[in-house]
Each structure stands twice: as C-alpha cells, then as structure tokens.
Amino acid sequence: MLDRFGGVSMVELVAALELAGYALGALGAALVFFEFFQLPSYVEYSQEYNDYSVDISPGEVVEYTWAGRVGAFLVAVSFALQFVAVLLG
C-alpha cells in the first residue's frame, strides 16, 4: 500500500526529488556566483579617470541584489529536498 504515492512508485519519487534538488541547487549556486560580481551601490566607477569612488550614505547602501537572495533561498530549498529524498529512500 505504501509503496505507491499518487500512482508513482517511491523509487521514482525519491529520484525525482533528488533531481529537483540538484537542479535547484545548481541554479541557486549560479545566482550566488553571479552575486559575487555585482558592484555594490556605494561604489562608482569612472571610465574617464579609470578610478573607483566610494560614497557611503548608510540609508542608501544596498549591498546584495535579489539574484543573491533568490540563489541562497534556492540552495536552501535544494538541501531540504535532498534531506526529504534521503528520508524517503
């Protein structure tokens, strides 16, 4: 009775959860990797002088983008899916 879940065998369900976890983890890691190359909002680059300037106003500083936040969330979901797959397998 418990070997099938909604018409899908447990082996197929565990494999699907593992693959979904791998896919989400890879996408999340790529977004976090992309985050490392973002220039913070308080750093400005001047092509004319080939120089960087730092203008820090604590109320306006944005250090992380949504790409990094979504990437970190996807990595966390990936670990959760892997954990559930191990429990079911």
pLDDT tens digit sequence for 18-48: 999 999 999 999 999 998 887 776 778 888 8
Q: Structurally, how many domains does the chain consist of?
A: 1
Structural domain boundaries, residue 17: 4-88
pTM above 0.85, yes or no: no
Give me 86's structure tokens: 């191990």
- Beta carbons of 77 and 58 less than 8 angstroms apart: no
Residue 3: its pLDDT value, please? 59
24-52 CB burial, b ≥16 within 10 A, e <16: bbeebeebbeebeeeeeeeeeeeeeeeee
